[in-house]
Amino acid sequence: PLIGTKEMFARAYKEGYAVGAFNVNNMEIIQGIMEAAQEEKAPLILQVSAGARRYAGQTYIRKLIEAALDETDHPLALHLDHGQDFEICKQCIDGGFSSVMFDGSHLDFEENIAITKQVVEYAHERGVVVEAELGRLAGIEDDVHSEESIYTDPDQAVEFVERTGCDSLAIAIGTSHGAYKFTGEARLDFERLEKISNMLPEFPIVLHGSSSVPQEFVEMANKYGGDIGSAKGVPEDLLRKAATYGVCKINIDTDIRLAMTATIRKHFAENPSHFDPRQYLKPARQAVKDMVQHKIKHVLGCSNKI
Ligand code: G3H
Ligand code: 13P
Ligand code: ZN
């Protein structure tokens, strides 16, 4: 069944683990994630970005997720990732999503509050939960990690949550999107996280940009003709620690891309005669499953939590 995230987060908060929110773009990704979550009996969020809607088409992506819901009785939340404006959030709420994100992190404080509030009002009337964002993560475009100055301000976070009524809040404490998160040592601002978490008791915090960029995939991709250089992600122990400070949702996309691509590159190198997509998409799907299962068990800590 399709569910919201309220109970999911309440339990995660209480028990000190996090729920994985995985970005989905095609059938193999959805199937790989579903298999892992089912085997682990893990709470699950599948999230769809604007890019995913453009790539697969809104109807295809929704129907693929419906297929996942039809095939199993595994509960999952369907979430809009990085909704850019009220309209896209409204479309997804009307289209059956159980959770949406309004990402006003690029707006000024008051404007972010105003639109978040508007989304919250529309969503709550329809039983849908809302994630908002305060502070700004460096994008992959920037290829640099966030500056201190755009990390989330704890006092503003409290005011933001009170005034908007949002159900969860994405904050900036040093993570960033993409495969190149750190040039030097990987570091998150735990002091800030702890402060925000203490000032917002029982309130679920969200971490974007939380792929770990497993070096086995980077090395595999590079060994078999890739060129993804010195990619670096958030170390797993830092994510585990974050989950004990009120972080209830951890977003992962890049690691799915890396797992699939490294596996396909290896497959092509070892099987130059193969041209049936099923031959290389099958191991790619398996690699997504194995990676997600590892996260659930050893990073998020959410096995057997449904
Ligand atoms: O936050 C970004 C996610 O990784 C989604 O990426 O917009 O390329 O689908 P995308
Ligand atoms: P990664 O690029 O670290 O996987 O982050 C994904 C994300 O935050 C999706 O919203
Ligand atoms: Zn994100």
69 within a domain of the structure (yes/no): yes
143, pLDDT greater than 90? no
The verdict on the CB of residue 263 being under 6 Å from ligand 2 is no
289 within a domain of the structure (yes/no): yes
How many angstroms separate the Cα of 163 from the Cα of each of 9, 12, 133, 189? Answer: 21, 24, 13, 25
**DSSP string for residues in the chain:** -B--SHHHHHHHHHHT--EEEEE--SHHHHHHHHHHHHHHT--EEEEE-HHHHHHH-HHHHHHHHHHHHHH----BEEEEEEE-SHHHHHHHHHTT-SEEEE--TTS-HHHHHHHHHHHHHHHHHTT-EEEEEES-PPPTTTTSPPPGGGSPPHHHHHHHHHHH--SEEEE-SS--SSSB--SSS----HHHHHHHHHHSTT--EEE-S-----HHHHHHHHHTT---TT-B---HHHHHHHHTTTEEEEEE-HHHHHHHHHHHHHHHHH-TT---HHHHHHHHHHHHHHHHHHIIIIII--TT--
Domain that holds residue 59: 6-300
The verdict on the CB of residue 52 being under 6 Å from ligand 1 is yes
Q: Mean pLDDT, to the nearest integer, of 179-201?
A: 96
Q: What is the dihedral angle through the alpha carbons of 93, 94, 97, 100, rounded to the nearest 10 degrees?
A: -20
Instruction: Note whether 101 and 132 are within 8 A (CB).
Output: yes
Q: How many domains does the chain have?
A: 1
- In whole angstroms, give the CA distance from residue 115 to residue 130: 12
Q: Give residue 141's pLDDT.
A: 40
305 within a domain of the structure (yes/no): no
pLDDT tens digits, 203-239: 999 999 999 999 999 999 999 999 998 899 999 999 9
What atom in ligand 2 is closest to the CA of residue 256?
4
pLDDT band of residue 5 (cuts 50, 70, 90) is very high
pLDDT tens digits, 239-248: 999 999 999 9
Residue 219, annotated as binding a ligand:
no
Predicted TM-score of the model (pTM): 0.96
- Cα 176 to averaged position of ligand 1 atoms, centre (Å): 11
148 within a domain of the structure (yes/no): yes
Instruction: Count CA within 13 A, CB hemisphere, residue 211.
Output: 26
Q: Give residue 177's pLDDT.
A: 94
- Our mutation pick for probing the ligand 2 site, out of 24, 29, 101, 177, counting the most ligand atoms within 8 A of Cβ, is 177
Q: Give residue 230's pLDDT.
A: 87
What's the mean pLDDT when you consider all of the chain?
A: 95
Q: Which ligand is nearest to the CA of 51?
A: 1
Q: Which residues surround ligand 3, an ion (CB under 5 A)?
A: 208
180 within a domain of the structure (yes/no): yes
Per-residue b or e along 31-67, where b marks 16 or more CB atoms closer than 10 Å to that residue's CB? bbbbbbbbebebbbbbbbbeebbeebeeeebbebbee
Residue 72 sits in a domain of what CATH number?
3.20.20.70
147, pLDDT greater than 80? no
Q: What angle do CA 204, 209, 215 make, to 5 degrees?
A: 130
306 within a domain of the structure (yes/no): no
1 within a domain of the structure (yes/no): no
- Cα 58 to averaged position of ligand 1 atoms, centre (Å): 15
Percent of the chain with pLDDT over 90: 94
> ipTM of the assembly?
0.98
What atom in ligand 2 is closest to the CA of residue 23?
9
pLDDT band of residue 139 (cuts 50, 70, 90) is low
207 within a domain of the structure (yes/no): yes
Lowest mean pLDDT among 23-37, 64-78, 136-150, 201-215: 136-150
pLDDT tens digits, 88-138: 999 999 999 999 999 999 999 999 999 999 999 999 999 999 999 999 987
pLDDT band of residue 146 (cuts 50, 70, 90) is very low
Instruction: Count CA within 13 A, CB hemisphere, residue 103.
Output: 16
Q: Give residue 114's pLDDT.
A: 98
Q: Mean pLDDT, to the nearest integer, of 65-80?
A: 97
